[in-house]
Structure 1
Amino acid sequence: MLDIIKKASLSAVGSTNPMAVLYGTVTSVNPLEVNVDQRFSLTEDFLVMGEMLMEYKLYIEGVEYVIRKGLKAGDTVLLLRYQGGQTYLILDRLVKPS
């Protein structure tokens, strides 16, 4: 009986598409598009991005200072798929250690 309950609960969780962590590559910035694992592309309608990934510049006495770089084509990003699979959060840009 316990095995049947375990199988039923695992099946229920699996069918709801729980959160998943994925890797993607930015293919376009304006409009934003991310290719996920070379399997499918997500447009900005399905993406949510935090402020820390947006470009931020300061201009002081005619000099431009880049405080934060924005996403650019070719960047590798870490994505979190919300439960249900319709919305993806771009968690961060991934870089190789130097």
Structure 2
Amino acid sequence: MLDIIKKASLSAVGSTNPMAVLYGTVTSVHPLEVNVDQRFSLTEDFLVIGESMTEYKLNIGGAEYYIRRGLETGDTVLLIRYQGGQTYLVLDRLVKSS
């Protein structure tokens, strides 16, 4: 009986599309578009961008200093798909180690 309950609960969770971690490549910045695993593309309507992925610069004494750069075409990003699969969080930009 316990095994039947376990199987039923696992089946219910699996059918709701729990969150998933995916990789994507930025193919366009304006408007934002990310290609996921070379399978499908997401437009900005489906993407949530964290503040750390946006451009931030300061103007000090007439000089402009970049604190962080925004997303650029060709960037590889780490995505988290929310449960249900309609919204994706751009969690971070991935860099290649040397």
TM over 0.5: yes
- 2:96: which partner in 1? 96
Task: Check if 1:35 corresponds to 2:61.
Answer: no
- 2:55: which partner in 1? 55
3-state secondary structure, aligned to 2:74: coil
| Runs (4+) off by over 2 Å | none
Q: Distance in 2 between matches of 1:14 and 1:49?
A: 26
Q: Distance in 1 between matches of 2:48 and 2:16?
A: 20
Q: Distance in 1 between matches of 2:63 and 2:43?
A: 34
TM-score under structure 2 length normalisation: 0.95
CA deviation after TM superposition for structure 1 residue 58, in Å: 1.4
Q: Which amino acid aligns with 1:29?
A: V
CA deviation after TM superposition for structure 1 residue 70, in Å: 0.5
Q: Distance in 1 between matches of 2:57 and 2:30?
A: 18
Tell me the number of residue pairs that the alignment of Structure 1 and Structure 2 aligns. 98
Task: Check if 1:2 corresponds to 2:39.
Answer: no
Percent of aligned pairs sharing the same letter: 85
Deviations 1:16-65 (Å, cap 9, x if unpaired)? 00010000000011111100000000000000011111001112233221
TM-score under structure 1 length normalisation: 0.95
Task: Check if 1:46 corresponds to 2:41.
Answer: no
Task: Check if 1:72 corresponds to 2:78.
Answer: no
Q: Which amino acid aligns with 2:36?
A: V
